[in-house]
Structure 1
Amino acid sequence: MATVTRENIGLLTDKITVNVSKGDYLPSFEKSLKQYSKQANIPGFRKGMVPSGLIKKMYGSSVFTDEVLKTVEKELTTYMSNEKLEIFAQPLPLPDNDSRQIDFNNPADYSFAFEIGLKPAFALADLGSAKLTRLKVDVTPEMIDEEVERLRNRNGKMTDVETVGSDENVLNIQFTESDAEGQPVEGGIQKDNSLLVKYFNEATRPKWMGLKKGDFLVLQPSQAFEAKEREWVLNDLGLDKDDAAGADKYFKVTITKIGLIEKPELNEEFFKTAYPGKEIATEAAFRDAVKDDIQAYWDGQSRNQLQHTLYHVLLDQTKIEFPEDFLKRWMQTSGEKPKSQAEVEQEFPSFANQLKWTLIVDKVVNDNSIEVDPEDIRAFAKQQLFGYMGMPAGGEEQPWVADYVQRMMQDRKFVEDTVHRIQTEKVFNWAETQIHPTDKPISKDEFQHLVEEHQHHHH
């Protein structure tokens, strides 16, 4: 009868030895040989009538080895299941295992040893005592004014005009990389764009006044735009916003079309267009709705920032030990191509962090009975579809929407990715219920600066 023994050989690392006797594997070996006899297709013999001696001679050795190893694997799996062992990856056969010891001609007792890496017990970081700040962006009247103008421009009527006469003119322009005199650079950048005159800085705007289609200016982005506008113009030209030499390039900027947006009046008709489904009758109520939208956006950005901080608190302050030697040996042999020790040492810190985060998420999910049900996945698929199509969520569901959702529910990769995404979101929702952050008012510019600094730090 098979026996299984277990001993500790290192931090969270055990050795499991499986001993099998002849009585454990010989019955299944004989059964497998009979199956081969029934199925073997050998010239000169009718199917199912091949002598057992011939089958034994032809296939006996390989079938014998397979059955011994299958018996060992079965005993190992049963033992781990009965003992409820929480392990990393798969058991690793120890180097002293040698299948060549299995001798078909001399059935005997065999012993195979495996190394397992055990998952550790651990306590989560104490989120309740973490000193955290929740940033609250202050929505200013200027921010509301900007958004009101953006909505009016977006819903305005464009008309063509002959001459540039206002900061509100829309210029369809072509950027052509050139020298300081406007002579094109061979192989240089060429890009069409559309800009309001007011996007240029105060020194440049007057230079456009009175110009017509076909007229041009020779400009350097570094001299023609303030920081914010320069950043997205450079990005559109395929240049790095932090590349001073790129910002100093000369461009011949030619007008291809001049437009003027006739902005709608601030009346109920416009309010209904901007906010369909909301009963807005006055400009004050409209500005309140705009403010709510802006606040919701920045609250969402602030929440993202807080969750990012929570991620680092959980990762950095949760103490977890790992069976490092076992995991490194597993990393060397688990992939399609074996890794060198040097490659494993280089990759291990990142691998351990990912493993640590997985354990943290699993613990939060299990301890708090967090579940992702099919309705969660359907709602996400619907939300994603509406987002792609720029449609408002809600309202009566159309048949084609239901068909799309049903198709996505059959897509295994989509379902797996969505479950992971929703589960992570629910973990952060739980984490937010554990903390006591201090609210801190902050300006939009300060908030953006903090985010940029953080991104530079982590890159």
Structure 2
Amino acid sequence: MNITKEQVDDLNAIVTVALSKEDYSDKVDSTLDNYRKTADIPGFRKGHVPMGMVKKQYGKAVLVDEVNKLLQEALNNFLTEEKLDVLGNPLPKPQDELDWDAEELLFQFELGLAPTFDIEFGKDAVTHYKVVADDKMLDEQIERIQKQFGKLVGQKEVIKDAEITATFVNEEKEINNKATFTFDKIKSEEAAEKLLGTKIGETVALSTNGLFADDHDLMEVLKVSHDDAHGLDIEVTATIEEVNTRELAELNQELFDKLFGEGVVTTLEEVKAKIKEDAEKQFVQQSDQKLLNDVTEGLIGNTSFDLPAEFLIKWLQASGEQPLTEEQAKEEYEKAEKGLRYQLIEGKIIKDNDLQVTFDELKDFAKDYIKIQMAQFGQLDPADEEVENVAMRIMSNQEEVKRLSEQLMSQKMITFFKDNGNLTEKEVSYEDFVKEAYS
């Protein structure tokens, strides 16, 4: 066997594999001998079929199969030994007529090579938001808590600030759902006017177009799919089943103990401090994700390199379950190009800065995740042995390992960007963060 590489350009190469009969003949003969022992051919006892007949019936198929196995192994070893960083998989060059009886068989494979490049963050600083819970948010959260733990007061008709339970019906769309919502969720002025003053047991017709400020509320109220809720413009009847207002719970020690445990906080200022602390922990995750997205976009835009596009389009044509036309493959390549560029950039950052996820790191990460999950169900101090057992079960599940590995790598990348990126910190309220970051 002889393998050689011809460098076409920086991003493309051709590998030629020359196989002689000695490379595969023993394997072919051994496989055919096994076929002979087990072949069930009319007129012959099992194990006594003439080898000539076995070769005539199975020889070509066995030869092709053994050669393909040998080629695959040889290519994999060659790519590893030569330390070639390839994109996609080697593509066999078409051969119209191959003489399988020849003393030497020649096969050629096209390679798409990963580019070499330097990481460029760009001159423009990326905003790293520090999101704070301001007084307005804290006051709103306190009021929500008071409502949540407050006493329901029944009403005879719909009034502002009410919780409304109604049955929504539309026969054509097969909608028949009972749901509870608050009056302040209603966006449509026309719907608000119709609902105000409607008594329990009465029915009003409402248009779903712009009924709520958020279409996700429409999903919950009508129990329709996400796709159906967006842009839904039909008329539904709403029969009022129940109307309640909430008498705000008193801000006293009994409420504080319900929220945080007995004696943990004793004043309203301490309650606000706890809410602020918990909220800002959540904000860090959102701010970090925004940072990751923004730095990623900047890296893709500022880090310039070419890709073996022609090779990758051909590879996409041939690699899927169903063959693609050249036009279809070009469309798929255009969709995937941005993601591929970031994979290469991320891979280089990981390699150059030794950011690989180790087994021990992943196990510790899984343990921390388990403890957070347990705490949400009231198990604040689980035994180490229990956490260890759950962690090992998770580590035996490939899907869970993949998910946690991606989360841990995201954390490592965020830390790297904070330490090495061109960032400028900006302190904002959550309301302003949402406006600036997602408008």
Q: Same fold (TM over 0.5)?
A: yes
CA contact (8 A) 2:159 2:197 kept: no
Pair 1:72–1:210, CA change in 2 (3 A): closer
Corresponding position of 1:4 = 3
Q: 1:102 aligns with which of 80, 100, 103?
A: 100
In the alignment, the residues of structure 1 paired with residue 209 and residue 357 of structure 2 have an alpha-carbon distance, to the nearest angstrom, of 52
Aligned partners of 2:31, 2:169: CA distance in 1, in Å? 77
Instruction: Name 1:89's counterpart in structure 2.
Output: 88
Which of 404, 408, 433 is the aligned partner of 1:447? Answer: 433
Quote the Cα distance in structure 2 between the aligned partners of 1:344 and 1:114: 20
Counterpart of 1:420, as a letter, is E
1:58-137 to structure 2, matched below 5 A, reads: 58-96=57-95, 98-99=97-98, 101-103=99-101, 107-126=102-121, 129-137=123-131
* Partners of 1:380 and 1:418 within 8 A in 2: no
8 A Cα contact 2:128 2:291, kept in partner: yes
* Cα offset, 1:356, TM superposition: 1.6
Deviation of residue 87 (structure 1)? 1.4
User: Residue 397 of structure 2 aligns with which residue?
Assistant: 411
Shift of 1:167: 5.3
8 Å contact from structure 2 (residues 128, 425) kept in 1: yes
Amino acid at match of 1:131: A
- Normalising by structure 1, we get a TM-score of 0.77
Amino acid across the alignment from 1:153: K
Partner of 2:22: 23
1:44: Cα distance to partner? 5.0
What is the distance in 1 between the residues matched to 2:173 and 2:89? Answer: 56
Deviation at 1:341, TM superposition (A): 0.9
Quickly say closer, same or farther: Cα 1:383–1:157, change in 2 above 3 A.
farther
1:319-338 equivalences under 5 Å are 319-338=304-323
DSSP 3-state at the match of 1:331 = helix
Measure, in 2, the Cα distance between the counterparts of 1:111 and 1:377: 50
Contact 2:366 2:404 in 1 (8 A): no
SS class of match (1:259): strand
Any idea what the Cα deviations from partners look like across 1:202-247, whole Å, max 9, x if unmatched? Answer: x999998887533577777899x9x85x76655645799996x95x
Equivalent-residue separation in structure 1 for 2:284 and 2:386 (angstroms): 33
**Aligned partner of 1:172 among 157, 165, 173:** 165
2:406 to 420, 423, 426: 420
Code of the residue aligned with 1:12 in structure 2: it is: L
Q: Separation in 2 of the partners of 1:339 and 1:165?
A: 59
Q: What is residue 246 of structure 2 aligned with on the other side?
A: 261
1:456 maps to none
Give CA-to-partner distance per residue, 1:31-83, whole Å, 9 cap, x none: 33433344444455554444444434443343344444444444433333321
1:317 equivalent in alignment to 2:317: no
Aligned-residue CA RMSD (Å): 4.0
Q: Report deviation, 1:396.
A: 1.7
Aligned-pair CA distance for 1:188: 9.6
Give 1 or 2 for the bigger CA radius of gyration: 1
Moved more, 322-331 or 259-268: 259-268
Unaligned runs of 5+ in 2: none
State the match for 2:291 in structure 1: 306
Query: Which letter does structure 2 place at the counterpart of 1:158?
Result: L
1:375 aligned onto 2:369: no
Answering whether residue 345 of structure 2 is matched by residue 360 of structure 1, we say: yes
Check 1:451–1:30 CA distance in 2 against 1; reply closer, same or farther (3 A cut).
same
Offset at residue 339 of structure 1 (A): 0.6
Gap change, CA 1:90 and 1:24, over 3 Å in 2: same
**What SS does the aligned partner of 1:16 have?**
strand
* 1:410 positional shift: 3.6
Amino acid paired to 1:116: L
Hey, what's the Cα distance between the residues in 1 that align with 2:22 and 2:230? 74
Aligned to 1:182: none
Separation (CA, whole Å) in 1 of partners of 2:292 and 2:380: 27
With over 3 angstroms needed to count, the CA separation of the structure-2 counterparts of 1:325 and 1:285, relative to structure 1, is same
Contact 2:158–2:243 (CA under 8 A) maintained in structure 1? no
- In structure 2, the residue matched to 1:152 is 146
Q: Find the aligned partners of 1:71 and 1:306 in 2 and give their Cα distance.
A: 48
CA distance in 1, matches of 2:179, 2:23: 78
Q: Give the Cα–Cα distance (whole angstroms) in 2 for the partners of residues 258 and 194 of structure 1.
A: 9
Deviation, structure 1 residue 362: 2.1
Any unmatched runs of 5+ in structure 1?
Answer: 178-184, 454-459
* Closer/same/farther in 2, CA of residues 48 and 323 from structure 1, 3 Å limit: same
% identical equivalent positions? 26
1:139 aligns with 2:133: yes
Query: Deviation of residue 329 (structure 1)?
Result: 0.9
Query: CA offsets per residue over residues 95-153 of structure 1, 9 Å max, x none?
Result: 23643x112xxx412222111111222222237x5411123345332221110011122
Letter in 1 for 2:363: E
Q: Matched residues in 2 for 1:302 and 1:376: separation?
A: 24
User: Which moved further from structure 2: 430-439 or 391-400?
Assistant: 391-400
- Determine helix, strand or coil for the equivalent of 1:336: coil
CA distance in 1: counterparts of 2:56 and 2:218, whole angstroms: 76
Q: For 2:141, what is the secondary structure of its paired residue?
A: helix
CA distance in 2, matches of 1:361, 1:321: 16
Per-residue CA deviation, residues 4-29 of structure 1 (Å, 9 max, x unaligned), is 22112244111111222333333333
